[in-house]
Amino acid sequence: MRIADREHEGAEQWNVPPGWSYNPASWSERLPIVGLAVLGFVIAGYLSLYQWRLIPHVWEPFFGDGSRIILNSPISRYLPIPDAALGALGYILDAIGGLVGGRDRWRTMPWIVLLFGMAVGPLGLVSLLLVIAQPVFFGAWCTLCLSSAVISMLMIGPAMDEVLASLQYLKRVVAAGGSWWRTFWGLKSSQLGA
Amino acid sequence: MWAQIVKVAIGIWLMMAPAVLGYGNPAMTNDRIVGPLCAAFGIISCWEVTRGARWVHVPVGLWLLAAPWLLGYSNVGPRINDMAWGAVLLGLSTIKGSVSSQYGGGWKAVWG
């Protein structure tokens, strides 16, 4: 956020997509999402330590045995690594996807913006399905699993503005006779002026 | 924005209601599926750029109105609970709320 403040005003204005009132790829827009991803990683990492039995107990302030039941459920062990560890990997991907590229990445690197959007969206969807599964299949709730789900839901909205800016840019390039493919990968010769 | 936050609260209430009001299936399972959906799309629609997610609450509201009859709730409590909140959700879905930023034509500019 402070980084954005220090930016030269004229240079930052050049990064605002046409018809937009702000730049969705500015650091003040992206760093809060990265912060949420790091928080999600800490929570999911802690839960996977318990699932791997590297720590013997798991913190559960509200639902008694809930976390223990959920974190040892058949669904959580369905894949070769525990589901919280998969969540932690997802959060790392979200954080990297939020950090890579400059303040103009919505037009210089659409691929990373769309990859970021696709990492944030499905992670949120899986969290939602797991929230539904907790009481329906196991009759239990897990406080930190719910917290992680809330975090992944909070990331979706703020991540999508950049995705929208990139999709609009790709559409403009194609309408102007440019190559969707070259623009998607950010190859220099394909770029329009902002 | 306030309408979206109310929808999040309704979703959380539906998740809690079977325990608070003490009712069982089929209403219990229904509310524990619909509640998280309602809350999740409420959170997503808080942001201006994804405000369109609020339309998900239309089918959710319609389902809550119909579920007591389609699933055959035997008790009055969960029936009134689902139908009342379903009607409120339908009403709230029509509220777009303020949009203060500009998004270059929004999603319509991509699909249109």
Q: Across the interface, do A154 and B102 touch by the CB < 8 Å criterion?
A: no
| pLDDT above 50 for A82 | yes
Q: Report the percentage of chain B scoring pLDDT > 70.
A: 99
How far, CA to CA in Å, does A171 sit from each of A18, A102, A178, B27, B93? 13, 21, 9, 46, 30
| pLDDT above 70 for A85 | yes
**Mean pLDDT value across residues A20-48:** 96
Least confident of A4-8, A32-36, A104-108, B37-41: A4-8
| pLDDT tier for residue A11 given thresholds of 50, 70 and 90 | low
ipTM for the complex? 0.92
Chain B residues at the A interface, defined by Cβ less than 8 Å, are 15, 29, 32-33, 36-37, 39-40, 43-47, 49-50, 101-107, 109-110
Beta bridge partners of B103: A20
Of residues A190 and B80, more confidence is placed in B80
Beta bridge partners of A20: B103
How many Å apart are CA B107 and CA B94, to the nearest integer?
Answer: 19
Q: Across the interface, do A158 and B46 touch by the CB < 8 Å criterion?
A: no
Residue spans of alpha helices (H) in chain B: 2-17, 27-44, 57-70, 76-93, 108-111
| A172 HSE (CA, 13 A, CB side) | 19
pLDDT reported for residue A157: 94
Task: Please give the structure tokens belonging to residue A106.
Answer: 């919505």
Of residues A10 and B93, more confidence is placed in B93
* Residue whose C-alpha is closest to residue B86's, from B98, B106, B99, B68: B68
Global pTM value: 0.91
Q: What mean pLDDT value characterizes chain B?
A: 95
| pLDDT above 50 for A7 | no
Chain B closest-CA separation from residue A147 CA (Å): 12
How many Å apart are CA B98 and CA B84, to the nearest integer?
Answer: 26
Q: Across the interface, do A22 and B40 touch by the CB < 8 Å criterion?
A: no
φ, ψ dihedrals at B103, nearest 5°: -125, 30
Got the DSSP string for B54-68? GGGHHHHHHHHHHHH
**Mean pLDDT value across residues B20-46:** 96
Do B94 and B6 contact (CB within 8 A), yes or no?
no
**Mean pLDDT value across residues B35-52:** 96
Which residues of chain A make contact with B15, given a CB cutoff of 8 A? 135
Q: Across the interface, do A161 and B47 touch by the CB < 8 Å criterion?
A: yes
How many Å apart are CA B63 and CA B54, to the nearest integer?
Answer: 15
Chain B closest-CA separation from residue A82 CA (Å): 23
Q: What mean pLDDT value characterizes chain A?
A: 90
Q: Report the percentage of chain A scoring pLDDT > 90.
A: 79
Cα torsion through A111, A116, A122, A127, rounded to 10? 170
Contacts with B, A 56-115, CB within 8 Å:
none
How far, CA to CA in Å, does A183 sit from each of A173, A179, A180, B98? 8, 6, 5, 34
- For chains A and B, CB pairs below 8 A equal 69
Give the model confidence (pLDDT) of B57-101 as tens digits. Answer: 999 999 999 999 999 999 999 999 999 999 999 999 999 998 999
Give the model confidence (pLDDT) of A134-164 as tens digits. Answer: 999 999 999 999 999 999 999 999 999 999 9
| pLDDT above 80 for A186 | yes
Residue with tokens 């809330």: A150
Q: Across the interface, do A20 and B106 touch by the CB < 8 Å criterion?
A: no
pLDDT reported for residue A1: 41
